[in-house]
């Protein structure tokens, strides 16, 4: 069966450290993958897009990798700040504009 797995447990880290979030999938062949941030009571907000022919993408303190062999994406936030505390969702691009979302990982950054 098709599955997208993100750590269901919250990730707690200290301010200034690098947070690494994992997205694993099975029985999908996504052409691209996106990461979104969601704050409580709000809709998801787009962060990064990476396509199947790209290994790595960066944007400011954010970095995402995409390994189609391992069927895994890693999302890194360097020099994390308390303001980075949120739930992060990975989304597989299964069609031209169609996304399938993971259940998200909650990140807590302590001062």
Among the residue ranges 17-25, 36-44, 58-66, 69-77, the one whose residues contact another protein (CB under 8 A): 36-44
| Burial 31-61, CB ≥16 within 10 A → b, else e | ebbbbbbbeeeeebeebbebeeeeeebeeee
Mark residues 50-89: x for contact with another protein by CB under 8 A, - for none: -x-------------------------------------x
Contact set for another protein, span 92-111 (CB under 8 A): 93, 95-104
Per-residue string for binding with another protein, 15-34, x by CB under 8 A? ----------------xx-x
State the DSSP code for 97. S
Number of Cβ atoms within 10 Å of the Cβ of 23:
25
């Amino acid at each position: 069966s098709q599955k997208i797995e993100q750590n269901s447990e919250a990730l707690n880290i200290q301010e200034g450290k690098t947070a690494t979030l994992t997205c694993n999938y099975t029985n999908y062949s996504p052409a691209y993958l996106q990461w979104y941030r969601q704050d409580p009571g709000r809709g998801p907000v787009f962060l990064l897009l990476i396509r199947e022919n790209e290994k790595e993408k960066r944007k400011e303190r954010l970095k995402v990798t995409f390994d189609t062999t391992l069927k895994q994406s890693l999302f890194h936030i360097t020099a994390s700040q308390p303001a980075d505390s949120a739930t992060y969702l990975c989304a597989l691009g299964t069609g031209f504009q169609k996304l399938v979302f993971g259940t998200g990982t909650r990140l807590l950054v302590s001062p």
